[in-house]
Every structure is written in C-alpha cells, then in structure tokens.
Amino acid sequence: MQHLPSVRLGIVIAAFAAALMTSAEARTFKATAVNGAATISNGQAQVSFKIEFTNDEELAMTGVTVVFEDGSEVSLGDVEAGATVTSAEQSRTVEMGDSGSRSVVVKVTLKYAQDGAAAETPWVFSVVAE
C-alpha cells in the first residue's frame, strides 16, 4: 500500500486538469494587459498597463468589472458581442519578494453578466519589466 498516496494525488491532478479544460472551453472572452511597463526595485514592482477586454460571444456581456486583490475595481461597462473595450491606464504596486522574475503577475477577478446570469472568473495579467 505504499503507492496509495501517489495514486490519490494522481486522481486529484487528473480531476483538476479536467476542470481546467472544461472552464477553458466555456470561456467566451479575452482579457489582457496592454501597453504595459514595469520597473522592479527592492522587491516591489511598479507596473502600469491598460486592460483590453474582448467579448468573443454572440451575446453582450453587461457590467464587466475587473476587481484587484486589494478590492479596487475598474468598470469596463457593457461589452457588445464581438466588441473590444480598453480601460484607462492602471498603476499598481506588486510585491515581488526575492523571486528574481522579470514577469509581474497581477491577480484579478473578472465579474460580468451574460444573458442575465452573473459570473466571476479568476484571471491573471502579466507585464514584463524592462
């Protein structure tokens, strides 16, 4: 029975991978950080970017909002089917620690409604420091 923990771990990983594939197939939008710039100093990144949101679905998405980890929000409003909207420039300070990475990760939650159903999707923006 020495192999039982690794079998359980394999099942958990397989279930997690299946869940990721299902949510990826259901995704009907793209959200990216554009026109980004970042500088890293003393374990903190100063990052600026615009949020570009594209609705690839045939239905409008209403109340599209990007919520940052600190609770601040950027409203993108209603996004018609096939449309792309871009936010004003955003500036953030991100704790980098001792990672040594040049890629600054900004974690957010995307909130929106489509066909009357509200949804929330965890998301990540990435900006590369010069």
- State the pLDDT at residue 34: 95
25 has pLDDT over 80 = no
Predicted local confidence at residue 99, as pLDDT: 77
> Which residues have a Cβ under 8 Å from the Cβ of 86 and sit 6 or more positions away?
34, 50, 51, 52, 53
- Arithmetic mean of pLDDT, 7-36: 54
Residue 4: what pLDDT?
39
pLDDT for the residue 27: 56
CA gap 15, 12 in Å, rounded: 5
Q: Identify the structural domains of the chain with CATH numbers, from first to last.
A: 29-128 (2.60.40.1470)
Task: Please tell me the least confidently modeled range out of 7-11, 57-61, 69-73, 124-128.
Answer: 7-11
Torsions phi, psi of 17, nearest 5? -65, -40
pLDDT at 26: 56
Burial class (CB in 10 A: 0-12, 13-18, 19+), 112: buried
